[in-house]
Structure 1
Amino acid sequence: MAAYQETWVFPCNVRFFDIFEHFAKSNTVVWKKRGSVHTGDEVYIYIGAPYKEIRFKCHVIADEVPEDVV
């Protein structure tokens, strides 16, 4: 397995996207690309209020996703 290129922190507002429910059903999430995120990067997901913590550690498995998947 290749070394991670970059480490990122993405915010998630659970009022708009229930990431807890999503990860309970699937271990993969399609996230809108931000900045220069690439395959192999590591992403931590920060959950806002009321949790106010980094809750998930993820690995970017693809930096390009077809429109029909989103």
Structure 2
Amino acid sequence: MVSAFGFLYAAESNDPNKTDSGYPPGIGVRNSLIVLGCINFFGMLFTLLVPKSKGKLLEEISKENETST
């Protein structure tokens, strides 16, 4: 929801004479799409860095239930 409104403002033209009334000048549609693409790319990279659970429970992975002896 936040990014939808952010894109609306960012996609406005750089030229103040070409912007819609009531909106401040933005960075343009092309630059907005480049920014969104970069954010998506980094999201994909961070998703690949998360280790897979391999069917284990979260408690087993974190070794929460083990008692120290």
Q: TM-score if structure 2 supplies the norm length?
A: 0.20
> Which has a greater percent of strand?
1
Higher relative contact order (CA 8 A, sep 6+): 1
> Which has a greater percent of helix?
2
Q: TM-score if structure 1 supplies the norm length?
A: 0.20
For the pair shown, the structure with the greater C-alpha radius of gyration is: 2
